[in-house]
Structure 1
Amino acid sequence: MIRTLNLRGKRPSRSELLTLIPRNAIDVDAASAVASDLIADVRERGSVALREQAQLLDHVSEYDIRVPASHFEDALTALDPDLLSALQETIARVRLASAAQVPPAHTTQVAPGATVIQRWQPVERVGLYVPGGKAVYPSSVIMNVVPAQVAGVDSIALASPPQQYFGGRVHPTILAAASLLGVTEVYAMGGAGAIGAFAYGVPDLELEPVNVVTGPGNLYVAAAKRLVRGVVGIDSEAGPTEILIIADHTASADLVAADLISQAEHDELASAVLVTDSADLLDAVRAELERQTSTTTHRERVQTACGGEQSALVLVDDLEVATDFSNAYGPEHLEIQTANPQVELSRIVNAGAVFLGDFTPVSLGDYSAGSNHVLPTAGQALFSAGLGAYTFLRAQQIIQYDKAALGVVAAGIRRLSNDEDLPAHGDAVDARFTVNNN
């Protein structure tokens, strides 16, 4: 079901590891042409294009694109009390962890009379995307909305695909989660068209453009986010999920297998990777994967994901090579199940989120850890962070000098501006010290 990659006797360089790591052959660029057409159509024809896309992709028609208040009320009324409690607990934990991501303002006195203040300002408006394909993700509502609220964003809009089995409504648990968080601007729209609607606005819906678009999605959502980057900010191109587990002989094969399956059930394109220095553990995990997959609900999806080129059981000489492999991969989710996880953690540089020990599965992070589950995929952890309050903040510098402090550096500014052949820069400083300027 899942292939083995044997690296015993090898200490690959980073460039060699980049050619060895299992990865989906899919390319976001390959979806760009389709996503670009969908975005352009929404820009040109607004809600008409969104309805046609929903008819084609979601098989719905005659529905409200802007969710009316009654839909929120219906969703909350029908919400199971146990699910309500779970959502409220997750909201509380994510809010606590997100609050730690907001840096305080800091004032630096660089010289007498000369200060530079750095403050963090939230963007004015955000568009948050919650997928609704093979599964429904009220947890993603929380992961998107709470950090934006903690950052201080005033205007929050949310989009999720209309659901055929709910008469074109957004899934009720998504609406209930939004309602719990006080979000009332929700749109029944999905895919690349929704991303385009957020980036450029839809006048006939009175949907104003946003400053930042965040949230996970399929290949076309990832492609759309790449296309609108620069018009708006984005978090990262969060595509099909990934899990990489570093484990040694002390790890429990049944737990490792369970965690690989937990992510593989998301999507046929999900990546499930084990890297271990124990051949015995590798064999035991393979057997457990076969046993547990046979009884899991989404067994066909899991079998496809684990059998794909993006998944593998990797055998290495030691845990140092294992961490090198992981750093080259840059997994969305990294679990470390070793005798002393802190040792391996000290060598980890690239990962969206790291889960340490037997009692910290990725499933915990997906729901109730307090961390955020919107994370970079496809190697983007090498240069991107997961979603957090900081995603919605911009560092802003405020500079104030008095006359004496400016005088200290005036000659240096003149020298630099002349050297760069920008003498008016120096003139603007000298003007402050003319006889008639007090």
Structure 2
Amino acid sequence: MTNTSHVPVGDRLTGRLRFGYSLGSLATGAFGTVPGLLLLPYLTDTLGVPASVAGLLVLLPKAWDVVFNPVAGRISDRTTGRLGARRPYLIYGGVALAICFAALFAGPDTGSATVDALYVAVVFLLCATAFAFFQVPYNALPAELTTSPTERTSLTAWRIAVLAVAILISGAGAPAVRDAFGGLAGYRVMGIGVGVLILLGSVAVFVGTARARVVPPLPSVAGWRETVAAVRDCRPFRVLLTAFVIQAVGIGTLLAGVDYLARVALGDKSWQPLLFAAFVAPALLVMPVWQRFAARHGKRLGYVVSTFVFAVGMCGALFARVLPPVAIVVFVAAAGVGYAGLQVFPLSLLPDVISAEEKRTGQVRAGVFAGVWTAGETLGLALGPGLYGLVLSLGGYVSSAGEEVAQPSSAVTAVVVGVGLIPAVFALAALPLLRRKELFA
């Protein structure tokens, strides 16, 4: 996907390794998408949990990852063996995540919204813990596979392309499976199906990276104090992470709102798969375009332009109550073009920052920085549904235990504002950080 003729042979990645690594995105895409898309509606419109409480239940287990992900990073940094520091966790963490995810929507159905909600919270906490052990080593690998920024951009482009496929399959397929079976049974079948997809991604990335080089161990940070010091001393990482987390909040809010946008604002839940497909599918087409843009104009400018494109597209969703649904789909597709850039540019900049800091300090930073990065991403994506639940609550959204409920006009307005304006505002809020040219390649 990228011309690597100027890259030393030892730093070039084979197509097989690029593809093998990218298949891990089947797991990250599925888990990163489906809970944000369906867990809040599952709680509010199937279990009858109030919107504000449901948002909190989605947030708290993910908040645990903010503390735990850096720990997972340090553990993988210090792991030795013939499989290397990262690969064992790809299979162990991935299998555990698949099992826990299938259990997430297979609750006991006690008839008590409180008991059922607590079950969801506990199992979601287990999911988040297993995901930390998969995602943190997965994010750390690119910095160790090659020292070439060009190769890392290419590797990231492959990864994001598969991620787009995974998000498209899980984001459009999961609601379709749920609706085909209906009610609790639909959620349970959907949970098993997504669990299988996560399992396939975990096994595929473990096998696909079997020939990856094992990096000789270097000294690593030992505890929280050293982790905080490592992040504090690396200004490029702090700036990049902050921008990424701010935008992740907006994306998390968008994912949480798609189901409500279709059902409540557009009046037909059958629009949901099309809306989601319109948001994700452009990534498959524009990823090479963003890659060429980065090669010609730099990653920083690409990041800025994609942010504006995303924000403009999401503002178009504010007209959901007055424009035909097809027009809203077009706006969402435009936002999807920007979303592709919001994924590829920060993820391709991350290994560059890690590599530069490891050279400066002589210490391993991949696992620790990947852990902090994943913690930030997890927090941002978790804050999104929590924020959306709060917006729904302020708008007077009426929860139910499966039956159709007429929503007040204020709730419809909250649905539209939450899915359109809030993601745009959070995306644009990161722009002052992206103006610091000296911090980006």
Q: Same fold (TM over 0.5)?
A: no
Which structure has greater strand proportion?
Answer: 1
Indicate the TM-score class for this superposition, using the shorter chain for normalisation: under 0.3
Scaled by the length of structure 1, what TM-score is found?
0.21
Structure with more relative contact order (C-alpha pairs < 8 Å, separation 6 or more): 2
Would you tell me which structure has more helix in proportion to its own residues?
2
The TM-score with structure 2 as length reference comes to: 0.21
Bigger Rg, which one: 1
